[in-house]
Amino acid sequence: MTKNPKNIAFDDFAVVDLFCGIGGLTHGFIKENFIVDAGIDFDQSCKYAYEKNNDTKFIYNDITQLSLRKLTSLYTKGKKKILIGCAPCQPFSKYNHTEKKSKHIEKSKWKLLYSFSALIQKLQPKIISMENVPQLVNFNNGKIFNDFISKLRRSGYHISWSIVNAQDYGVPQRRKRLILFGSKYGEIKLIDKTVTEKKYKTVRMAIGHLPPVEDGIVLSDDPLHRARKLTELNKKRIQATKEGGFWRDWDKDLWLDCHKNDIGKEYRSVYGRMNWDDVAPTMTTYCVGLSNGRFGHPEQDRAISLREAALLQSFPESYDLIDPEATFSSPKIARHIGNAVPVELGIVIAKTIKKHINEVGRIR
């Protein structure tokens, strides 16, 4: 670690969160007592949840059009800058690797990561962090990721990165993510795993305390605890699915056409039920749809509710996601939840940076 010419302390820093969404990463930093001056996102519908739960500013802005002057103005004057963010991961997902989609992505999505890099180079924050999908590392033969790292190193950053599974850090979900750090002071080492395999937070631990709710019914005490109404056929399918099971539990008259061919027989991750005593599968933007993954409740005959999805993303139960001034949209809120950085993972990133600052502050 390079010698720091001036003694620094944790409260010398302020944070801005790019691609902030509804604030999962921001909330993790706030839990660790960081000053978060603002979150920036191009999805205006995230504003209510972000500001309501984090008591900080939501800035509606296209990152590709964000000026250095505006970004700089968001930071508390006199504070050293930390820039964090989770550039949208859909471009690098394994579900987007068809030739047709890749050409579209190249034109419209890669620029977000390059814009993130450009803002870092202009702003020159002392510390940066990025969270993304692991596929980014090898996407397009590694060119996108290597370009990102190379530019940062040329700007004087010590770069480190890890592929982690969120279940190792207290998130009740199997979710592999890339976490990258950069610092002007020296290399940042991710903190050790906070839980062992035998102590993973399970689905039961996360949502087992919630009252039962039927599909299509809204719990009066919690409007977020609602599950999609199932068709009569899908109701029969979930009833035929055992805990931890999937469509192969069904009689063949319930199968979809795709299940009858060789390719479809490998689709094990749809129409599945979760297991009470295991972690949940990765929450996606379609995490409340029965046909979109293993999102069936472990024992109730329905897909998980929005509240359950939020808890499995480690949002506090008090986290308010429903804007009273907007028309309620279950798909929109599911998208907000699935796109979010799990709060517990945000806490891990914040703890890692705090540890780094403390170590740097002890250098004379």
Phi (first) and psi of residue 14, to 5 degrees: -135, 155
Q: Which residues contact 1 (CB under 8 A, 6 or more apart)?
A: 185, 186, 187, 359, 360, 363
Q: Are 68 and 123 in contact (CB under 8 A)?
A: yes
Strand 13-18 versus strand 36-41 pairing type: parallel
β-bridge mates for residue 349, sequence order: none
Active-site entry in 46, 86, 89, 287: 89
Tokens of 86: 């989770």
Query: 251 forms bridges with which residues in the sheet?
Result: none
Nearest Cα to Cα of residue 323 among 31, 43, 37 = 43
Residues 281 and 138: their CA atoms lie apart, in Å, by 23
Residue type for 166, please?
Answer: A
The radius of gyration computed from the CA coordinates of the chain, to the nearest angstrom, equals 21
Is 20 catalytic? The answer is no
Assess contact for 284 and 96: CB atoms under 8 A: no
271's torsion region: left (phi>0), alpha (psi -120 to 50) or beta?
left
* Integer Cα distance of 342 and 172 in angstroms: 10
Token pair of 222, please? 């919690």
Measured between alpha carbons, how far is 336 from 58 in angstroms, rounded to an integer? Answer: 15
Residue 193 DSSP SS3: coil
Q: Point out the residues that are catalytic.
A: 89
